[in-house]
Structures are given as C-alpha cells and as structure tokens.
Structure 1
Amino acid sequence: MCTCTTTTVLAVGSHPDDIELGCGGALAKHVARGDRVIMLVITTGQAGPGDVTARTREQEEAAAVLGAELRWGGLPDGSVSAHELQLVHTIESLIRQEGVDVVYTHGLQDTHQDHRAVALATLGAARHCKRVLCYDSPSSYHFAPSVFVDITDAFDKKVTALRCHASQVAHSAMASTSLVTTQAGYRGFQARVEHAEGFVPHRVQLDV
C-alpha cells in the first residue's frame, strides 16, 4: 500500500519577481515531482517600474508557468517593516492552514528593507517548520550558500517565468535574464552541475 504524501512548499517574496529570481528553478523542480507549491508575494511592487495592474498580471502569469498557486500579502511596497505583526500572522496562518512542509524566503543579509523584513517575519512564522531555506537576490550581500538545487533541467522554466515580468526585465537591471544565467552557471560551478540555485539553510531536518 502506498503511503506517499504530497509535500507542500511555500515560497515567500517581497515583490513580484523576487521568488522567480531566488528559487524559481527549485519551485519548478518541486512541481515536476508532484509537490504542491504556493507563492506568497507580500506587495504588488507599486514603488518599482510598471503599474500595479501590470505587475499583478505578470506575477499571475509567472506563477502559472511554474505551476504554483499564488497568494498576495496586501502590504505596501517599501514599508513592509511597519507591518511586522500583520506580516508574521499572515505567513503563520498560511503555514498552519495549508500544512506547509518546506519554506523558502529572502536572506536576512540584504540591502532592501522589504527583503529583510520579509525574511525576519518568515523565520519567525516558520519557527515550527522542519525545512526553512533562504534564497539569494540581486540585493543580497555576503550570501554564502551551502545547500544547492540542481536546476539544469528546470532552468528554461525559471527564465520563462522571469520573462513574464516584462516591466521589470525591460527597466530593471535586477531582473536581467543574462545576469540570472550567469548566476545560475556560477552556482552550478559551485555545486558541480550545469545550473543551480544556492540556499542558506535556516533549518533543515534530514530524513535518515
């Protein structure tokens, strides 16, 4: 008799495109193996290039490419830290209601205030989760991953999802697909594969 259960994965990002940049390949791999993936995007990115309507549509399209469910946090871009308690409760409720097993989020060492706030809130909200991993972003600093996911067979899907964010790819160097390719190659070099994403583990329980 099969006792297999579906793993539920939650990826939390501050703005549309953050998740695709940080762990889009890993999420595509999760979906390919039958896991349920939920993307929680905390703001609509109204302070960046592109209007809210466009960015919302772009994020919906990107989530569909990855095969993920999309949820919104509803907080204002640029001042997420002013809503810390609400943010923790939002993430914690989602983890509890959906039975989340694996969490991906921003790293704490980041020059963007929203990224730091989301990272801190997620780590608190996910304090009972057994696997919590922090992903890289273009504004990270001193990011030294020790866990890698081979995304060689999911790299095209990661790039396709990122390209859905046309307003960002066209107007922000942070969303450059060529730089994403370079980074994935470098992480792959570190992991001894062609393309990879790197993560800093906050907590990882091994099944042995």
Structure 2
Amino acid sequence: MFNKNDKLTVLAIGAHGDDIELACGGSLAKAVKKGHDVVMVVVTGVDSHDHKNVPIRENGNAEKEAKAAAKILGVTKLIILGYEDTLVPYSADLITKLDDIMIKHEPDIVFTHFVFDTHQDHIRTAHSTISAARRQNTILLYEPINPSGQGYIAFRPQVYVDISKTIDQKINSLKAHKSQYIKYTEKWVEGVTARAKFRGFEMGVDYAECFEVVRSELRL
C-alpha cells in the first residue's frame, strides 16, 4: 500500500490492554524496527471487574501491564483513555477523543477491532474509531481471537504482514499482561502462536498477522 521508503505513523486502537498485542503486536514491533512512528491507544486501561464483580485487574495492574507490553514491542507512545471496562460507549465523547488523537498524530495507517466481534467493548471501539477516522485513508481491522469470539460475520483476511522476526516480541508482550496470562493460561499463547503460524503458511512465511480492509490508500 505504501512505498517502502515512506516513513509512516501507525495508530493502533484497542478496547483493553492486550487487545492490540493479540491482534497486531507483531506488526507494530516490525514497524518500530523499520523506524516508523507507532502510537497505541487503550480505550479502557484502568482496573476492572467481570460481570459478577470479580476483580480481573486491580491495584493499577491494567496500566502497569499495558506499559510493560508496549515497552516490549518498542512502542514509546501509549495513550490510556480510562473508560470503564465492559462499558465502553459508542459516543460523541469517545469519537471526539479519538479524533483529537488522529489530528495530533496524523496516522497513515489506523488499526482497530473487527466490527463484527462479539465483545461489546470491541464493537463500540471499532465503530468509534471508524467514525473518528472519517478523514483517514487507510483503516485496517484486526482478526478476532478467543476470548473475543469469532463473531457472526466471517472475518476476511485481506492484508498480510510477515511477523516472523517479531513473533517473540508479540508473545512476550502478551505474557506481560500477567493477569490475562494467569486467567487464560499457556493455551492462550499457544492459540495465538498457532494462528500466526497458520497465517504465515498462507502467505509463505513462518508467522504472519492479517487484517480486513475498511479502506486503503495506494501510493504509487
């Protein structure tokens, strides 16, 4: 989509700490290695509880884990908006905040959730991002993976990124989210690795991530 000599600004927006790492962590680490500017935005990022009010992340762990994971990917620009977990709104307030971030950073590529995910926070983050990105030319949706669910409309893998040299950073960034790693166990990491291996097989490399296109600019 872009000339290989272009210096890009890449903006990745996720509902929770670990969403971005799960879906495009390898791509972001690769972008950093190539000298591109990378910005990560976590829409929630504060302490959270499940629907039964059982703590998931507390005592500031959400922010600590997000910062540790971003550091592993080499990303120095991390923005945490602090909305309440499970209650992310599709609202003018969130859209305006994301719009302000895009005006400030002028991204060439915007990554966000698949719009037919099954987690309400992911869906609302995706729609809010797309609304805010109405003036952005390249928007890519990342592939959902459990525990997000697979959605009721099939994800279409349209854009592939070879992450063979950054798969370890991706996996280590996931493990930095210790609360999630404890909750979902090593099987979580095994599943993510297996999917990257499969997507890599599809494009003829060791490991890959893939994305669905909302719209894309071709620079000739």
What's the TM-score once normalised by structure 1's chain length?
A: 0.93
User: 2: CA distance between counterparts of 1:106 and 1:94?
Assistant: 17
SS at match of 2:131: helix
CA shift at 1:136, angstroms? 1.4
User: 2: CA distance between counterparts of 1:12 and 1:173?
Assistant: 25
Equivalent in the alignment of 2:201: 189
Deviations along 1:97-131, one digit per CA (max 9) or x if unpaired, are 11221100001011100000000010111111111
Equivalent in the alignment of 2:180: 168
The 1:186/1:80 distance shift into structure 2, 3 A limit, reads: same
Of all paired residues, the percent bearing the same amino acid is: 37
5+ residue gaps, structure 1, are none
CA shift at 1:5, angstroms? 6.1
Give, as a single letter, the amino acid of the residue that structure 1 aligns with 2:212: V
User: 2: CA distance between counterparts of 1:52 and 1:73?
Assistant: 17
Equivalent in the alignment of 1:91: 98
SS at match of 2:17: coil
The 1:159/1:118 distance shift into structure 2, 3 A limit, reads: same
Equivalent in the alignment of 2:7: 6
The 1:149/1:180 distance shift into structure 2, 3 A limit, reads: same
CA shift at 1:6, angstroms? 3.4
Deviates more, 1:147-156 or 1:66-75: 66-75
SS at match of 2:57: coil
Aligned residues: 204
Equivalent in the alignment of 1:47: 49
The 1:106/1:207 distance shift into structure 2, 3 A limit, reads: same
Structure 2 counterparts to residues 55-66 of structure 1, below 5 A? 55-66=62-73
Whether the 8 Å CA contact 1:84–1:121 is kept in 2: the answer is: yes
CA shift at 1:52, angstroms? 5.1
Deviates more, 1:14-23 or 1:130-139: 130-139
Structure 2 counterparts to residues 101-116 of structure 1, below 5 A? 101-116=108-123
Equivalent in the alignment of 2:162: 150
Structure 2 counterparts to residues 129-148 of structure 1, below 5 A? 129-138=136-145, 139=148, 140-141=150-151, 142-148=154-160
5+ residue gaps, structure 2, are 51-55
CA shift at 1:165, angstroms? 0.4
Deviates more, 1:45-54 or 1:87-96: 45-54
SS at match of 2:49: coil
Give, as a single letter, the amino acid of the residue that structure 1 aligns with 2:120: Q
CA shift at 1:67, angstroms? 1.5
Equivalent in the alignment of 1:206: 218
User: 2: CA distance between counterparts of 1:52 and 1:85?
Assistant: 30
